[in-house]
């Protein structure tokens, strides 16, 4: 090979070597990330039904069943379908005396319609459901109407394999009025707690603790 040709090949090799390593299987690591940043950590949602820290400090006060209970109500968690009224959702959990979630219990709910009238011939605004694996329940209904001698209230009966465990009544804040209840049954400990609403339906929570 002539000296001139040899020098030409060496010069060409040096020039190509300055353009980077084209034989590499991987691209050089970029110093600027193109990945979208992770979303900022937000405050955790409220404790789910069945969370131990939601267990009430004391057992739920028992209240009278009253004369209007009808056994055999269908399994139905949406009572709002039974008539017009201001729709509300009440959810929460049931705990035993030791604050363990009580799963598989039957909860009967019954109440008046928005005009304060009970259906004593059928099962309008009457239904039952079973607590889930964490003791949770959810009731969709309307604000019950008041009737003579009683403020607005929702009846509740909890029962299990051993029979009745608790019978009580719930009251709607801003609606149920102690002064309108001549029976003396109204109990502030049984007022359901409002929580942040989604849309136009007011959300409430009430957790039961069995005696």
Give the DSSP H/E element, type plus range, for residue 201. Answer: strand 201-205
Q: Where are the alpha helices (DSSP H) in the chain?
A: 3-17
pLDDT in the model for residue 37? 36
pLDDT in the model for residue 2? 47
pLDDT in the model for residue 192? 98
Instruction: Please state which CATH number belongs to domain 52-209.
Output: 2.60.130.10
Pick from 28-37, 89-98, 122-131, 174-183: least confident: 28-37
Domain boundaries, the chain: 52-209
CA-wise closest residue to 131 among 151, 156, 98:
156
Q: How would residue 45 be classed by pLDDT, with cut points 50, 70 and 90?
A: very low
Per residue in 155-202, pLDDT tens? 999 999 989 999 999 999 999 999 999 999 999 999 999 997 767 799
CA distances from 70 to 74, 89, 92, 125, 155 (A): 11, 22, 24, 11, 11
Per residue in 64-86, pLDDT tens? 999 999 999 999 999 999 999 99
Q: How would residue 49 be classed by pLDDT, with cut points 50, 70 and 90?
A: low
pLDDT in the model for residue 52? 57
Q: How would residue 39 be classed by pLDDT, with cut points 50, 70 and 90?
A: very low
- 201-205 and 87-95 as β-strands: parallel, antiparallel, unpaired? parallel
pTM of the model: 0.76
Burial of 5 (0-12, 13-18, 19+ CB in 10 A): exposed
Distance from C-alpha of 157 to C-alpha of 110, rounded to nearest angstrom: 9
């Amino acid at each position: 090979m002539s000296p001139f040709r040899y020098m030409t090949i060496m010069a060409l090799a040096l020039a190509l070597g300055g353009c980077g390593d084209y034989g590499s299987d991987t691209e050089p690591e970029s110093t600027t990330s193109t990945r979208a940043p992770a979303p900022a950590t937000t405050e955790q949602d409220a404790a789910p039904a069945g969370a131990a820290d939601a267990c009430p400090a004391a057992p739920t006060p028992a209240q009278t069943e009253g004369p209007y209970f009808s056994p055999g109500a269908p399994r139905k968690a949406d009572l709002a379908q039974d008539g017009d009224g201001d729709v509300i959702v009440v959810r929460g959990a049931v705990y035993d005396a030791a604050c363990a979630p009580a799963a598989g219990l039957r909860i009967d709910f019954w109440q008046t319609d928005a005009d304060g009238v009970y259906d004593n011939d059928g099962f309008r605004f009457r239904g039952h459901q079973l607590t889930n694996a964490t003791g949770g329940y959810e009731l969709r209904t309307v604000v019950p109407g008041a009737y003579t001698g009683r403020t607005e209230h929702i009846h509740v009966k909890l029962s299990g394999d051993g029979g009745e465990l608790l019978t009580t009544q719930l009251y709607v804040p801003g609606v149920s009025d102690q002064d309108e209840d001549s029976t003396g049954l109204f109990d502030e400990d049984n007022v359901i707690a409002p929580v942040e609403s989604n849309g136009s339906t007011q959300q409430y929570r009430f957790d039961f603790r069995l005696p």
